[in-house]
Structure 1
Amino acid sequence: MVTAPLFAAEPEGGLSSAEQSNYLLELKRLYLTQDERQALFAHCNDLLKTYALRAAYQVGQAQRQDLLYQLRQGEAGELLLREETRGQQGTDIAVRNQRVPLFGVDPFVRYECPSSGISCVLHNPNDGSPMLTIVRDHKGAAELAKALSFLIRNLQKG
């Protein structure tokens, strides 16, 4: 059984500008900055650390590994995604960098948390392909999708 895709950052009727303003204000307060983009990057990266899919969660898997991500800004309208895969012993490390162009894409990040799995997948807003994999936590995936959606909107401004 698989759960239906969710649009975490798009509740019924969408977010009002007051909700958006309050959300961004809280993030700026939390990360002690006046820069929305800086607060959004800090929040997304903190969530990616908190909900990282670690080898310890992968009991019974043959190839247990840590899956870690970090986001940063690229060129105007571009998100840089760093994916690091570490073997169970911590000696095998593979790094993959991905550029995600954001101009002209729907900023709402879609995610899925299959009930039979150990992970949630957040999808690339460009083509719907898997972009990030985190530990299976509906609230964590919803918060990360929301923060990423706000970050994408912010980066689309240039």
Structure 2
Amino acid sequence: MQSLLTRKLMVLTLLVTFFSAVAAADGVQGDEQAAYLSELKRLYLTTDERQALLAHSNALLDTYALRAAYQVGQAQRGDLSYRLRAGASGELILREEVREDQAAAVSVRNRHLSVFGLDPYIHYQCPPGGIRCILLDPRDGQPLLTIVRDHEGAAELAKALSFLIRNLQKG
């Protein structure tokens, strides 16, 4: 009987230790998230998280846009740029502009991304030897947008977009 009680006490102690560690890890993550959002709000001089995340994401999209100048030796060179904005409740609108190298015409496409029920984590790929990184659509894993090949830039953009999607999911 005493050994049964001892086993139950050991299991209970292990469970309490495990859940305490999980709670502590969540607290650190929450602190990091709050610090990240606070820094963005300070950087973009706003008190609104969504506006700060949109401004940061758009600044990153502008910085890492795939321009024709980066595409030396490519058969079809052109500028590829994006712009994000919040649409209706729970919707992210992605504006894609494509300008061919020699043409004055610009092709514009708007895509609507409903964020409700969506995994907010954005994955990206930067193929070796290529000139671009591709951020993947969380709905189906297909390319969402393309930027110049820069691992750090792709990681920062993926992080900002993930935070933005989480923010939009709040309504």
TM-score (norm. length: structure 2): 0.83
What secondary structure does 2:72 align onto? coil
Whether 2:148 is the aligned partner of 1:148: answer no
Partner Cα separation in structure 2 for residue 144 and residue 59 of structure 1: 24
Q: Which residue of 1 aligns with 2:123?
A: 110
- Give, in whole Å, the separation in 2 of the partners of 1:157 and 1:21: 16
> Does the 8 Å CA contact 1:102/1:126 hold for their aligned counterparts?
no
CA distance in 2, matches of 1:96, 1:62: 23
- Paired residue secondary structure (2:89): coil
How far residue 93 of structure 1 moved from its aligned partner, in angstroms, is 0.8
Residue pair 1:86, 1:94 contacting (<8 A) in 2 also: yes
Aligned partner (choices 130, 146, 156) of residue 133 of structure 1: 146
**Higher fraction of helix:** 2
Q: Which residue of 2 aligns with 1:119?
A: 132
User: Greater CA radius of gyration, 1 or 2?
Assistant: 2
Gaps of 5+ in 1: 1-12
Instruction: Report the counterpart of residue 104 of structure 2 in structure 1.
Output: 91
Question: Which structure 2 residues correspond to residues 13-24 of structure 1 after superposition, within 5 A?
Answer: 16-24=29-37
Provide the secondary structure at the position in 2 that maps to 1:84: strand
Q: 1:90, CA displacement in angstroms?
A: 5.2
CA offsets 1:77-126 (integer angstroms, 9 cap, x no match): 11000000011135021001100111001100000000121000001111
- Alpha-carbon distance in structure 1 between the residues aligned to 2:92 and 2:137: 11
- Aligned-pair identity (%): 66
- Residue 44 of structure 2 is aligned with which of 5, 17, 31? 31
Residue aligned with 1:82, SS: strand
Is structure 2 residue 56 aligned with structure 1 residue 43?
yes
Poorly superposed stretches of 4+, deviation over 2 Å: none
TM-score normalised per structure 1: 0.89
Specify which structure has the bigger relative contact order, considering alpha-carbon pairs within 8 angstroms and separated by 6 or more residues. Answer: 1
Q: Give me the whole-angstrom Cα distance separating, in 2, the residues matched to 1:21 and 1:89.
A: 46
Gap runs ≥5 in structure 2: 1-24
Question: What do you get for the CA RMSD once the two structures are aligned?
Answer: 1.3
Q: CA deviation at 1:75?
A: 1.1
